[in-house]
C-alpha cells in the first residue's frame, strides 16, 4: 500500500482534524437541508447522512433509500459541501455514484460484502473510508482496506467506531484504542478518523472521545449531527446540534504531532532500562513456571488449581493498588 494518496478534496485544508458531520439518517428533505445549512454556516465542509441503515434488530428505521440521495444532491448544490454516505452493497455504490456522492464509507456490519463493493468501485476515484468491523479483529479490518486498495482506490482512510461487547457499561462500542494504534503502526500512511457518536452512544461522551482521538494523533472526526436530535428517527441519544458540534470543536486542543520529542528522551531511556529489567524478571519467573508445570505433569496434577490462581490474582491486584497503580 505504498501509493496511498492523501484524502484531499479541493477547497479543504489539509489540516487536522478533518470534520465530517451530519445526521445518522436522512429522514426528510427538510431535516437534511436544515441540518446541512446550519453545518455549512459553521464552516463544516463534508456532510454525512445514512441512506440505507443496517439495523441490528428488525423494526428499526431502515433508511429512506434512493430518494434521500436527491436531497444530498441538493445539499451539494445549495451549500457546496461535499456529500458522503454509507454503502453496504453493489447497488448502493451504483446509486450513490449516480447521485454525485463525493465520499463513501463502508459500515461496521459489512466486512463480508467488501469484495462486492470493491468490485463495484473499480475505476472510481473518490475517497473511501472503512469502518472497523463490529468484532475486534484487526486482520479483518486490514483485509477490507486491502480489498478496496486492490480495486484501485488509493484515497483511503479508516473510521474507528469501537467494537461491540455484550457488556455495555460506559460506551456503546468499546474503543479498544490499542487496535487502531496497532493499525497505525502497521500502516502509518493510512488516515484514521474517529466516530465518537457510535463509540460513546451518548451526547456527553462526544467531547472527551474526540479529544482522546486528537491526542492519539487521529486525522479527523465523523460526528452525528441533527437539527433536532431529540426527534431523530435513529440514534437520537448520540446526536448533537450543529451549534453544540461547533462548541465541541472549538474546545478541542489540537497538539502538534510533529513536535520534537527531545525533552522526552531522558524519561524514555529510563523506561527502556526498566522494561529490560522487567523482561529479565519475567523470564526468571517463566523458568520457575516451567518447573512447576513439569512437576504437575509428573504427578498427574491438573494444570489449574483454582484456589491458588485466585490467591495470586487477588494478592497481586491489591499489592498493585497499594502501590498506586
Given Mn ion, ligand PEP, none, residue 151, with its beta carbon under 5 to 8 Å by kind, binds: none
Min dist CB 277 to Mn ion, Å, is 47
Given ligand PEP, Mn ion, none, residue 86, with its beta carbon under 5 to 8 Å by kind, binds: ligand PEP
In the complex with ligand PEP, which residue's Cβ is closer, 59 or 123?
59
CB 222, CB 48: distance < 8 Å: yes
Given Mn ion, ligand PEP, none, residue 81, with its beta carbon under 5 to 8 Å by kind, binds: none
Cis omega (within 30 of 0) for bond into 120: no
Q: What is the grid cell recorded at 211? A: 479529544
Coil/strand/helix, residue 86: strand
| Residue 131 sits in the site that holds ligand PEP (CB under 6 A) | yes
Min dist CB 157 to ligand PEP, Å, is 14
Residues 46 and 9: their CA atoms lie apart, in Å, by 10
| Residue 24 sits in the site that holds Mn ion (CB under 5 A) | yes
Coil/strand/helix, residue 81: coil
In the complex with ligand PEP, which residue's Cβ is closer, 197 or 241?
197
Residues 323 and 325: their CA atoms lie apart, in Å, by 6
Cβ neighbours of residue 130 closer than 8 Å, sequence gap 6 or more: 105, 106, 114, 141, 144, 145, 148, 156, 157, 158, 159
Cβ neighbours of residue 5 closer than 8 Å, sequence gap 6 or more: 154, 155
Beta bridge partners of 25: 50
| Residue 20 sits in the site that holds ligand PEP (CB under 6 A) | no
Q: What is the grid cell recorded at 208? A: 472527551
DSSP string, 187-230: -TTS-EEE-HHHHH-SGGGHHHHHHHHHHTT--EEEEEB-SSGG
Given ligand PEP, Mn ion, none, residue 88, with its beta carbon under 5 to 8 Å by kind, binds: none
Min dist CB 59 to Mn ion, Å, is 16
Instruction: Give the residue nearest to Mn ion (CB).
Output: 24
**What is the DSSP-derived secondary structure letter of residue 10?**
T
Among 99, 147, 198, 203, binds ligand PEP (CB under 6 A): 198
In the complex with Mn ion, which residue's Cβ is closer, 115 or 237?
237
Given ligand PEP, Mn ion, none, residue 131, with its beta carbon under 5 to 8 Å by kind, binds: ligand PEP
Given Mn ion, ligand PEP, none, residue 108, with its beta carbon under 5 to 8 Å by kind, binds: ligand PEP
CB 192, CB 219: distance < 8 Å: yes
Beta bridge partners of 120: none
Binding to ligand PEP (CB under 6 A): which residues in 67-126?
86, 107-109
| Residue 50 sits in the site that holds ligand PEP (CB under 6 A) | yes
Among 161, 180, 190, 233, binds ligand PEP (CB under 6 A): 161
Among 7, 19, 20, 24, binds ligand PEP (CB under 6 A): 24
| Residue 144 sits in the site that holds ligand PEP (CB under 6 A) | no
Instruction: Give the Å distances, CA to CA, from 104 to 45, 174, 228, 231, 282.
Output: 15, 24, 25, 26, 47
Binding to Mn ion (CB under 5 A): which residues in 229-288?
235
Min dist CB 53 to Mn ion, Å, is 7
Residue 301 backbone dihedrals phi, psi, to 5 degrees: -90, 150
Q: What is the grid cell recorded at 67? A: 430518494
> Which residues contact Mn ion (rule: CB under 5 A)?
24, 235
> Which residues contact ligand PEP (rule: CB under 6 A)?
24, 50, 86, 107-109, 131, 161, 195, 198
Amino acid at each position: 500500500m505504498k501509493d496511498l494518496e492523501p484524502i484531499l478534496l479541493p477547497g479543504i485544508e489539509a489540516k487536522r482534524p478533518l470534520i465530517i458531520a451530519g445526521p445518522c439518517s436522512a429522514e426528510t428533505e427538510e431535516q437534511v437541508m436544515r441540518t446541512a445549512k446550519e453545518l455549512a454556516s459553521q464552516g463544516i465542509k463534508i456532510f454525512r447522512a445514512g441512506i440505507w441503515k443496517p439495523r441490528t434488530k428488525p423494526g428499526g428505521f431502515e433508511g429512506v433509500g434512493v430518494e434521500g440521495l436527491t436531497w444530498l444532491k441538493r445539499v451539494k448544490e445549495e451549500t457546496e459541501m461535499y456529500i458522503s454516505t454509507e454503502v453496504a452493497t453493489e447497488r448502493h455504490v451504483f446509486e450513490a455514484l449516480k447521485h454525485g456522492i463525493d465520499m463513501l464509507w463502508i459500515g461496521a456490519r459489512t466486512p463480508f460484502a467488501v469484495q462486492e463493493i470493491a468490485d463495484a468501485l473499480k475505476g472510481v476515484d473518490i475517497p473511501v473510508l472503512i469502518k472497523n468491523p463490529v468484532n475486534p479483529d484487526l486482520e479483518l479490518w486490514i483485509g477490507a482496506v486491502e480489498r478496496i486498495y486492490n480495486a484501485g482506490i488509493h484515497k483511503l482512510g479508516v473510521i474507528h467506531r469501537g467494537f461491540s461487547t455484550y457488556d455495555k457499561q460506559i460506551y456503546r462500542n468499546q474503543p479498544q484504542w490499542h487496535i487502531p494504534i496497532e493499525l497505525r503502526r502497521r500502516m502509518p500512511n493510512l488516515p484514521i478518523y474517529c466516530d465518537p457518536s457510535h463509540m460513546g452512544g451518548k451526547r456527553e461522551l462526544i467531547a472527551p472521545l474526540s479529544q482522546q482521538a486528537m491526542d492519539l494523533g487521529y486525522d479527523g472526526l465523523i460526528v452525528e449531527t441533527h437539527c433536532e436530535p431529540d426527534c431523530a428517527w435513529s440514534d437520537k441519544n448520540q446526536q448533537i446540534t450543529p451549534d453544540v458540534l461547533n462548541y465541541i470543536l472549538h474546545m478541542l486542543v489540537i497538539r502538534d504531532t510533529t513536535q520534537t520529542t527531545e525533552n522526552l528522551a531522558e524519561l524514555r531511556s529510563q523506561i527502556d532500562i526498566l522494561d529490560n529489567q522487567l523482561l529479565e524478571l519475567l523470564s526468571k519467573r517463566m523458568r520457575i513456571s516451567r518447573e512447576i508445570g513439569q512437576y504437575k505433569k509428573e504427578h498427574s496434577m491438573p494444570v489449574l488449581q483454582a484456589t491458588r490462581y485466585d490467591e495470586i490474582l487477588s494478592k497481586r491486584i491489591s499489592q498493585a493498588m497499594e502501590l498506586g497503580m
